[in-house]
Homo-oligomer: A and B are copies of this chain.
Amino acid sequence: MVEGDSLPPMCVDELEDWIRVPASEADVQARVEGLRRRLSAQVQPAPDIDEDGVLRVGDRWVSLPPVEARLTAALLDRYGAVVSRDALARAGWPNGSPGRNALDVHVLRLRRRVAPLTLAIRTVRSRGYLLERSVQPASQPIG
């Protein structure tokens, strides 16, 4: 709140705002609503998996078989970043890894399972895989 004749403040943070008093309740509400909108545009709830292999994002969920549940846990540990093939193999099969393609096949199956949750497993060639949300709420850069 800014007093009647003082200088307007500078908003250092994007999630700050100010208003000159006296102001109507509706004006304050509008400013608060604007702040809330800016906040929700930035923050998105992260997916979460429990010990029973139930993966939840928002209000939707799917149940994952053991191997894919462990793979998902490893991907969620580094959510939004690349997880190497080796790390995924070690996470999915703690007692020695099976053949080369087992991981590929499970990633393929996992992809189809998590797609309805707006989750996507992106391939980073010769590096590994990356878990992220496939659709993002509209916040288009000015172009």
Question: Once the chains bind, are B26 and A8 in contact (CB under 8 Å)?
Answer: yes
Q: Give the residues in chain B near A126, CB-CB below 8 Å.
A: 65-66
List residues 63-77 of chain A with CB under 8 A from any CB of chain B.
63, 65-66
**Do the beta carbons of A34 and B11 come within 8 Å of each other?**
yes
Counted per complex, copies of this chain come to 2
Range of interface residues on A (Cβ < 8 Å)? 35 or more
Listed residue (A26, A33, A54) with the most chain B CB atoms within 10 angstroms of its CB = A54
Checking B14, B18, B59, B118 against A37 with a beta-carbon cut-off of 8 angstroms, the contacting residue is B14
Interface of A: prevailing SS? loop
**Proximity string of chain A (84-126) to chain B, C-beta cutoff 8 Å, 1 when within and 0 when not:** 0000000000000000000000000000000000100010111
Given contacts A39-B142, A59-B139, A135-B143, 15 further A-B contacts (CB under 8 A): A8-B26, A11-B37, A14-B37, A14-B41, A14-B139, A20-B23, A20-B27, A38-B38, A43-B141, A43-B142, A52-B81, A52-B128, A53-B124, A63-B125, A66-B126
Q: List 16 A-B contacts (CB under 8 A).
A: A8-B26, A8-B27, A8-B29, A14-B38, A14-B41, A20-B23, A38-B38, A43-B142, A52-B127, A52-B128, A63-B122, A63-B124, A66-B126, A118-B143, A135-B143, A137-B142
